[in-house]
C-alpha cells in the first residue's frame, strides 16, 4: 500500500487538470468552435470539473485539518487566515485589473437576460465581489468570471470548522447515511428545475442552479464525509476490506469518468448532471486515486505536476483575463502577418483592416489555444511564487498542521 503522503499527492496533482478543463470550457466557443462536435463535448461539459473541485476541496481540507478530538486541529481564526491568504489577494488583484472594462458595460444587457446594466447595479456587483458575496446573486454580473466560485469557497471555509465538530464522533455507518442524505438533498433542486421547466421561466433559476452556495454546499460536505470514512478505515487498517470499486485501477476509473463526462450529456438532462448525478463517479475516482497506485497516480504525484498544481487556484482566478488577452494577441499577430509591408504605410487601408479586425471574433487555432493554456499556467505559476506565496507568509504561523497539501 502507498504511504499516506503519496495517496494524497495524487489527489493534489489532479487539480491542475480540473482547472485547465474549466478554463478550456469557458472559452470553447470563442477559441475552438471549428473543432468536431465530439471534441467540443470534452470541453463544454466542464461543470463536471467544477463540482469535482468542490468535492475534492472538502476531502483534502478534511484530510489535512481534521482532528479526532477537537474537530479541527488548529484554531478557527488561524484556519480562516490561512485559507483567505491563498485566495483573496489574487482574487482582489484581478478584480482591480478588470474593473475598467467592467464599469464600461453600463447600458448593455446582462448576458442571457433582458436586464439592463445600470450604474448602481455595476457598483453593487463590484463590491459584492470585493466582499466575496458574488455567488449569492443568481443574476450575477461578474468583474471576473470565476469570482462566484471564490465566493462559494469562502462560504465553505466558514462552515468547515463547525462541520468538523459535528462529524468528529460519527461512525462509518453514520457518515454513510449522512452522505446519502446529502446527495438526496442535492438532487432536489435539479429535479424541480426539470419538472417545473424553470429554465424557461426566469434567469434567476438557472443562476441558482449554477452559483448558489447553499445548493453547491452538499458537494463540499460530501467530500468531507467521504474523507472521514476513508480516514477511519485507514486508521483501522481496513483498506483491504473496502468495496471492490475503491480498489479499481485509478487509470480505469479515470477512463470511466471521462467517458461518462462525454457521453452522459447526450441523453441525461443538463440540470441533473450539473448538480449531483455525476457525484458517485467522482467519489469513486477520488477514493481510487487515494487508495491505489498505478501509472496515473505516479504521473499525478510527479514533483513537477505537484508544483504546478499548487498554483491551481491562481490559474483558475486568472484564466478569464489571461486567455481573453491571449485571443487578442493571437488575432493581432495574424492581422499583421497578413499585411504586406507597404500596407502598413497606407493609412486608409490599414485603418479599414484594423476596424475589421476589431469586429471579428477571437477564434484561434487549437494549437494556439494550447499555447495560450501554457502561457496561462506559466504566468499563474510566477504570480503564485512572487505574489500569492509572499502575501501568504504574512499570515503564516510557526505551527503548521501538516506539510502535506497545505497549499490545497
Give 181 or 34, the one with higher predicted confidence.
181
Phi, psi of 67 (to 5 degrees): -130, 130
Least confident of 32-36, 100-104, 206-210: 32-36
* Nearest to 19, CA basis, from 384, 270, 256, 373: 373
Residue 26, pLDDT score: 79
Q: What is the pLDDT of residues 279-298, one digit of tens each?
A: 998 998 999 888 888 888 88
Q: Which residues of 250-281 are buried (b: 16+ CB within 10 A; e: fewer)?
A: bbebbebbeebbbebbeeeebbbbbbbbbbeb
Residue 393, pLDDT score: 80
Residue 151, pLDDT score: 95
Residue 5, pLDDT score: 42
Average pLDDT, the chain: 83
Residue 240, pLDDT score: 46
* Nearest to 188, CA basis, from 174, 208, 170, 162: 208
Q: For residue 13, give every residue at least 6 positions away whose Cβ sits within 8 Å of its Cβ, in sequence order, or none.
A: 299, 300, 301, 302, 305, 306, 309
- pTM for the full model? 0.88
Q: What is the pLDDT of residues 213-250, one digit of tens each?
A: 999 999 999 999 999 999 998 887 655 455 655 656 77
Residue 342, pLDDT score: 61
Instruction: Compute the CA torsion angle 256, 259, 264, 265 (nearest 10 deg).
Output: 140
Residue 174, pLDDT score: 96
End-to-end CA distance of the chain: 23
* Nearest to 183, CA basis, from 228, 152, 220, 138: 220
**Cα distances (angstroms) measured from residue 244 to each of 101, 173, 239, 373:** 52, 18, 11, 37
| H or E segment and range at residue 66 | strand 66-67
Average pLDDT over every residue of 359-382: 82
The C-alpha cell at 362 is: 477571437
> How open is the CA angle 149-14-60, to the nearest 5 degrees?
65
Residue 402, pLDDT score: 46
Q: For residue 154, give every residue at least 6 positions away whose Cβ sits within 8 Å of its Cβ, in sequence order, or none.
A: 83, 84, 87, 132
Q: For residue 301, give every residue at least 6 positions away whose Cβ sits within 8 Å of its Cβ, in sequence order, or none.
A: 6, 9, 10, 13
Q: What is the pLDDT of residues 16-38, one digit of tens each?
A: 999 998 888 877 665 556 666 65
Alpha-carbon span 137 to 106, nearest angstrom: 18
Whether the Cβ atoms of residue 8 and residue 229 lie closer than 8 Å to each other: no
Give 266 or 4, the one with higher predicted confidence.
266
pLDDT at 252 over 50: yes
**Packing angle of the helix pair 312-338, 15-26 (nearest 10 deg):** 40
Give 400 or 212, the one with higher predicted confidence.
212
pLDDT at 360 over 90: no
Give 1 or 206, the one with higher predicted confidence.
206
Q: What is the pLDDT of residues 283-341, one digit of tens each?
A: 989 998 888 888 888 899 999 999 999 999 999 999 999 988 888 788 777 766 766 65
> What percent of the chain lies above the pLDDT cut of 90?
46
Residue 159, pLDDT score: 97
* Nearest to 182, CA basis, from 231, 208, 230, 220: 220
pLDDT at 57 over 80: yes
Whether the Cβ atoms of residue 300 and residue 308 lie closer than 8 Å to each other: no
Give 2 or 137, the one with higher predicted confidence.
137
The C-alpha cell at 51 is: 463540482
Amino acid at each position: 500500500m502507498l504511504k499516506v503522503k503519496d495517496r494524497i499527492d495524487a489527489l493534489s496533482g489532479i487539480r491542475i487538470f480540473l482547472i485547465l478543463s474549466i478554463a478550456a470550457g469557458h472559452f470553447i466557443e470563442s477559441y475552438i468552435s471549428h473543432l468536431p462536435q465530439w471534441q467540443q463535448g470534452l470541453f463544454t461539459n466542464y461543470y463536471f470539473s467544477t463540482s469535482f473541485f468542490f468535492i475534492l476541496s472538502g476531502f483534502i481540507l478534511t484530510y489535512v485539518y481534521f482532528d479526532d478530538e477537537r474537530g479541527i486541529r488548529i484554531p478557527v481564526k488561524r484556519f480562516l487566515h490561512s485559507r483567505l491568504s491563498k485566495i483573496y489577494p489574487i482574487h482582489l488583484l484581478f478584480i482591480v485589473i478588470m474593473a475598467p472594462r467592467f464599469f464600461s458595460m453600463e447600458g448593455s444587457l446582462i448576458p442571457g437576460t433582458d436586464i439592463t446594466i445600470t450604474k448602481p447595479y455595476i457598483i453593487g456587483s463590484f463590491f459584492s465581489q470585493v466582499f466575496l458575496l458574488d455567488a449569492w446573486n443568481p443574476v450575477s454580473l461578474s468583474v471576473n468570471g470565476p469570482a462566484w466560485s471564490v465566493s462559494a469557497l469562502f462560504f465553505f471555509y466558514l462552515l468547515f470548522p463547525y462541520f468538523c465538530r459535528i462529524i468528529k464522533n460519527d461512525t462509518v455507518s453514520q457518515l454513510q447515511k449522512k452522505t446519502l442524505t446529502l446527495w438526496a438533498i442535492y438532487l432536489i433542486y435539479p429535479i424541480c428545475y426539470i419538472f417545473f421547466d424553470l429554465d424557461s421561466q426566469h434567469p434567476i433559476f438557472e443562476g441558482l442552479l449554477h452559483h448558489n452556495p447553499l445548493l453547491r454546499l452538499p458537494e463540499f460536505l460530501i467530500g468531507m464525509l467521504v474523507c472521514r470514512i476513508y480516514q477511519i478505515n485507514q486508521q483501522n487498517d481496513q483498506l483491504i476490506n473496502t468495496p471492490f470499486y475503491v480498489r479499481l485501477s485509478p487509470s480505469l476509473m479515470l477512463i470511466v469518468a471521462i467517458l461518462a463526462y462525454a457521453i452522459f450529456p447526450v441523453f441525461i438532462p443538463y440540470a441533473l448532471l450539473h448538480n449531483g448525478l455525476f457525484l458517485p463517479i467522482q467519489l469513486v475516482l477520488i477514493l481510487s486515486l487515494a487508495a491505489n497506485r498505478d501509472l496515473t497516480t505516479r504521473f499525478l504525484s510527479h514533483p513537477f505536476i505537484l508544483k504546478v498544481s499548487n498554483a491551481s487556484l491562481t490559474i483558475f482566478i486568472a484564466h478569464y483575463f489571461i486567455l481573453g488577452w491571449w485571443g487578442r494577441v493571437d488575432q493581432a499577430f495574424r492581422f499583421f502577418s497578413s499585411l504586406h509591408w507597404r500596407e502598413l504605410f497606407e493609412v486608409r487601408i490599414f485603418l479599414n483592416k484594423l476596424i475589421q479586425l476589431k469586429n471579428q471574433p477571437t477564434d484561434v487555432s487549437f494549437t494556439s489555444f494550447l499555447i495560450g493554456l501554457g502561457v496561462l499556467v506559466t504566468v499563474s505559476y510566477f504570480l503564485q511564487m512572487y505574489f500569492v506565496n509572499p502575501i501568504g507568509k504574512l499570515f503564516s504561523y510557526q505551527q503548521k498542521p501538516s506539510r502535506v497539501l497545505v497549499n490545497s
